Homo-oligomer: A and B are copies of this chain.
Amino acid sequence: MTLAPLTATATGSRHGSDVTDRTELIRRFTRSAATTDSPVTPNRAILSWLEENRRTFRHEVTRIPFADLAGWRFDAASGDLGHDSGRFFTVEGLRIHTDVHDWMQPIINQPEIGILGFVAKEFDGVLHFLMQAKMEPGNINSVQLSPTVQATRSNYTGVHRGRPITFLEHFVPPTAGQVLVDSLQSEQGAWFLRKRNRNIVVEITEEPPELPDFRWLTLGQIHRLLGFDDVVNMDARTVLSSIPLGPRVEDQGAYQSLTDVLSWLTRVRATSELSQRYRPLREVEGWQLTEDRIRHREGRYFQVIAAAVSAANREVASWTQPLFEPIGLGVTAFLVRPIGGVLHLLAHARVEAGLANVAEIAPTVQCCPDNYADLPPSRQPRFLTEALTTTGSLVRYNTVLSEEGGRFFEARSRYRIVEVPEDFPLDVPPDFAWISVHQASTLLRYDGYLNVQARTLIAALLATL
């Protein structure tokens, strides 16, 4: 992140072409992905290390009345739920108007941009990534594997009055490492208002201290862990998705040119109506505030709860906070198929309530089937049947994963990648498009093209290639 000294450039540029630079980076990542075990942290030691940390970081989460939240209160005028410091996040109301619907809902407003960062380092010429066994209150199993650093700006500027963030210095000048990957990416548009995080990988050469809750793993080892339910957390998955790999994802002939793919998304963004207006939380219609939850009047979608968290070893030892608790298990799936020998994903340009840019590329299916239980087949989510009923070797990925446990209480979804036969129609509705894996990987280099659910599935897909 720092500029090269003058001497390095006096005789010319220090870089080759952008294509050359990128190719070299992909070569190094690919070598790490091909390394499926490592003496640095042998596979046989990983799950026991995770279990050990689950014991160390065991914690209890108790539902409490909102009145028992410490430091959090409903604003007297607006009813918005916020922290006394004015930091962290607020739960506000939002009125959303789209081409087809008009509704209000509670939403999380957290305008600051957090860091989701991996520290990488070569051991014996192979890049390893420093993973943290991290407790989050919303995790169904307390501890999951996170990036090296997972911090909101409130965290790292000390608003929480807790301990310093371990390894944060590698992401902040003047001691920052060499950046390999760095972009801003969105979080769940259904629950967050314009939330973005910095997804970053930095390479270091020095030897950091060994800590019991951190381990160095190759990409190949992390890919294997993606096959387990609820092990690799959402923040790790989104950063992993932005790591480009080859040669299986190289720039081959695609069904549509990248120009066409960009234009397809631009068209949906430009022609879809998405009006997002703040509403005081107390005026949000269709939602009920009780002593201990804010719930939809039909019990659908999600509820906002208050929780007391007691844990042995976090930045602060115990605290209370609001959490969003989704109703039901989600289904998140990409249909994939080869076109002309090149693997393609069926992408959906999906408008979501809180997105900053109207629509992002989402998986083919992204829903909670419970919300559609009463509706006839014609109103079921498109492609849900194909995503759920395919079995056998066509199912390339099928794992239950958790959303971020710092904001969401036991929010889980079944993530699936399902191959459809070659006679599956290439002609799809106008808000869907077939994109190649290479095109998805290219777009992940830039801000705000793929939503967080799509990024999880890209990480999973890269693990299967």
Residues of chain A at the chain B interface (Cβ within 8 Å): 1, 3-6, 9, 11-19, 21-22, 25, 111-113, 115, 153, 173, 179-184, 194, 198, 200, 251-260, 262-264, 266-267, 269-271, 273-275, 278, 339-342, 356-358, 425-428, 430, 433, 438-439, 442, 445-449
Contact across chains for B113 and A270 when beta carbons are under 8 A apart:
yes
Residue of B nearest to A14 (CB): B255
Contact across chains for A21 and B264 when beta carbons are under 8 A apart:
no
- By a CB distance below 8 angstroms, the chain B residues around A111 are 274-275
Contact across chains for B356 and A18 when beta carbons are under 8 A apart:
no
Contact across chains for B179 and A259 when beta carbons are under 8 A apart:
yes
Expressed in whole angstroms, the minimum distance between the Cβ of A217 and any Cβ of chain B is: 23
- By a CB distance below 8 angstroms, the chain B residues around A341 are 12
- By a CB distance below 8 angstroms, the chain B residues around A112 are 273
Contact of A25 among B9, B113, B259 (CB under 8 A): B259
In whole angstroms, how far apart are the Cα atoms of A127 and B9 in the complex? 39
Contact of A21 among B259, B340, B426, B448 (CB under 8 A): B259
Contact across chains for B182 and A426 when beta carbons are under 8 A apart:
no
Nearest 8 interchain pairs by C-beta: A12-B340, A13-B253, A182-B263, A13-B340, A179-B263, A198-B270, A17-B251, A113-B270
Number of copies: 2
- By a CB distance below 8 angstroms, the chain B residues around A262 are 182-183, 445-446
What are 13 A-B pairs with beta-carbon distances under 8 A? Answer: A5-B427, A9-B426, A13-B254, A13-B255, A15-B257, A16-B253, A113-B270, A113-B358, A153-B271, A183-B262, A184-B266, A356-B357, A357-B448
- By a CB distance below 8 angstroms, the chain B residues around A438 are 18
In whole angstroms, how far apart are the Cα atoms of A269 and B259 in the complex? 26
- By a CB distance below 8 angstroms, the chain B residues around A445 are 262
- By a CB distance below 8 angstroms, the chain B residues around A6 are 425-427
Contact across chains for B263 and A15 when beta carbons are under 8 A apart:
no
Contact of A18 among B14, B17, B275, B439 (CB under 8 A): B439
Contact across chains for B269 and A113 when beta carbons are under 8 A apart:
yes
Contact across chains for A259 and B426 when beta carbons are under 8 A apart:
no
Contact across chains for B13 and A264 when beta carbons are under 8 A apart:
no
In whole angstroms, how far apart are the Cα atoms of A425 and B4 in the complex? 12
Residue of B nearest to A183 (CB): B266
Expressed in whole angstroms, the minimum distance between the Cβ of A374 and any Cβ of chain B is: 33
- By a CB distance below 8 angstroms, the chain B residues around A446 are 262, 446-447, 449
Say whether, besides A12-B340, A340-B11, A258 and B21 are in contact (CB < 8 Å): yes
- By a CB distance below 8 angstroms, the chain B residues around A179 are 259-260, 263
Contact of A257 among B12, B21, B257 (CB under 8 A): B21
- By a CB distance below 8 angstroms, the chain B residues around A357 are 184, 356, 447-448
- By a CB distance below 8 angstroms, the chain B residues around A180 are 259
In whole angstroms, how far apart are the Cα atoms of A25 and B263 in the complex? 15
Residue of B nearest to A266 (CB): B182
Contact across chains for A200 and B18 when beta carbons are under 8 A apart:
no
Expressed in whole angstroms, the minimum distance between the Cβ of A269 and any Cβ of chain B is: 6
Say whether, besides A9-B255, A21-B258, A263-B182, A270 and B115 are in contact (CB < 8 Å): yes
In whole angstroms, how far apart are the Cα atoms of A274 and B266 in the complex? 26
- By a CB distance below 8 angstroms, the chain B residues around A439 are 18
Contact across chains for A266 and B428 when beta carbons are under 8 A apart:
no
Expressed in whole angstroms, the minimum distance between the Cβ of A118 and any Cβ of chain B is: 14
